[in-house]
């Protein structure tokens, strides 16, 4: 089992094009850990803002009566992918992994695969 710091380091080290990663509590919007980022990518602000995205999608699914789980949410920008992976493992409900990727260097399918692997090993 990996702790938060180890999981985030693994995400940025093993996922091509990773610009930054965070583990976020979407109940509070607080980042429990971050790695990477830049002056143009403040991961603390991104964590709080993406919490609103997750909450909105959960509310929408409830209003539609959809009885399903969100695996991940993809936001595609001109030069980046932002991937939000809701965690479902034991003790991880209410958290998501957030990953920002350079669109030119990233392989989105492999990034999703790696995040699933990291999720399986993560202990919050």
Read off the tokens for 52: 């609103």
pLDDT class for 92, splitting at 50, 70, 90? low
pLDDT in tens, 14-51: 999 999 999 999 889 999 999 998 889 999 999 999 99
Its pTM stands at 0.91
Q: Which residues, 6 or more positions from 114, have their beta carbon under 8 angstroms from its beta carbon?
A: 11, 14, 15
Read off the tokens for 114: 């790696």
Q: What is the structure's pLDDT at 122?
A: 86
């Amino acid at each position: 089992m990996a702790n938060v710091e180890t999981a985030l380091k693994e995400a940025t080290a093993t996922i091509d094009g990773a610009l930054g990663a965070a583990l976020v509590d979407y109940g509070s919007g607080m980042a429990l850990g971050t790695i990477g980022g830049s002056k143009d990518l403040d991961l603390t602000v991104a964590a709080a803002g993406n919490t609103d995205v997750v909450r909105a999608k959960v509310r929408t699914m409830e209003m539609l009566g959809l009885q399903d789980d969100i695996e991940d949410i993809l936001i595609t920008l001109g030069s980046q992918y932002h991937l939000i992976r809701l965690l479902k493992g034991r003790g991880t409900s209410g958290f998501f992994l957030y990953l920002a990727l350079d669109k030119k260097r990233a392989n989105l399918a492999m990034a999703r695969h790696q995040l699933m692997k990291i999720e399986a090993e993560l202990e919050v």
